[in-house]
């Protein structure tokens, strides 16, 4: 066998080796896409679907005295791959629902928080659908939602300009607590809900019957 034929023969044998089947068939190994922090957070909320939990205001501002003295219940009532709806009941007031939705998945994924406020007859309150999108990756246990432009315009129009610097946050520590926060200069509200003790689901929020 001449000097040219020998290397060619070795190459042919290598191409037929079992370890090269994928290359011979032009097949690529699948690449796993890691979940983002937002995806993990959304999954933790989804795991609570159908359950309700009692909570309390743990911040100490006088503005929240009425809420601090009321029974607080959150109900993870509706869940899909894209949207989770969590009615937040303050005593007999069933006007509030937190709506968490995806703004994408994977590495570039994020979340959006909106506040759906209704009157007892189901009609929308003048201050409703406000909130914001995550601006940072956050963590699997905490996501923050700075106020968006729609909400700023709404607050300015409805004489609530003090809220144009709002930043909301949610936390989920599986098997321990869920928390909701509102922060802005000179304003802080935090409510925590005990995930170790589910309670009976409350009636539907206003507008959902």
Cα separation values, 76 from 110, 169, 174, 177, Å: 20, 17, 14, 14
For residue 184, pLDDT beyond 90: yes
| DSSP state at residue 124 | B
Residue 12 has φ and ψ, to the nearest 5°, of -65, -40
| d(C-alpha 94, C-alpha 39), whole Å | 29
pLDDT digits (tens, 9 = 90+) for 78-95: 999 999 999 999 999 999
Domain 37-199 is of which CATH architecture?
Beta Barrel (2.40)
Which tens digit of pLDDT belongs to each residue from 3-47? 444 444 433 434 444 444 444 444 544 444 558 999 999 999 999
Residues 190 and 170: their CA atoms lie apart, in Å, by 9
Tens digit of each residue's pLDDT (9 = 90 or more) over 137-180: 999 999 999 999 999 999 999 999 999 999 999 999 999 999 99
Q: Phi, psi at residue 207, to the nearest 5°? A: 90, -5
**3-state SS, residue 31:** coil
The strand pairing partners of 178, in sequence order, are: 172, 193
Tally the C-alpha atoms within 13 A of residue 145's C-alpha that lie toward its C-beta.
Answer: 27
* Domain spans of the chain, in order of start: 37-199
């Amino acid at each position: 066998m001449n000097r040219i034929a020998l290397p060619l023969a070795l190459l042919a044998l290598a191409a037929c080796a079992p370890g090269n089947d994928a290359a011979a068939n032009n097949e690529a190994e699948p690449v796993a896409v890691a979940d983002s922090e937002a995806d993990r957070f959304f999954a933790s909320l989804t795991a609570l679907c159908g359950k309700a939990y009692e909570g309390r205001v743990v911040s100490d501002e006088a503005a929240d005295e009425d809420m601090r003295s009321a029974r607080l219940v959150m109900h993870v009532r509706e869940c899909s791959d894209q949207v989770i709806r969590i009615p937040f009941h303050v005593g007999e007031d069933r006007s509030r629902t937190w709506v968490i939705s995806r703004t994408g998945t994977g590495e570039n994924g994020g979340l959006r928080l909106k506040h759906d406020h209704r009157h007892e007859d189901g009609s929308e309150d003048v201050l409703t659908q406000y909130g914001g999108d995550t601006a940072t990756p956050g963590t699997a246990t905490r996501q923050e939602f700075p106020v968006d432009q729609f909400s700023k315009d709404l607050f300015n129009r409805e004489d609530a300009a003090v809220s144009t610097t709002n930043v909301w946050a949610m936390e989920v520590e599986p098997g321990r607590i869920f928390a909701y926060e509102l922060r802005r200069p000179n304003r802080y509200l935090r409510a925590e809900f005990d995930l170790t003790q589910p309670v009976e689901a409350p009636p539907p929020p206003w507008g959902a019957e």
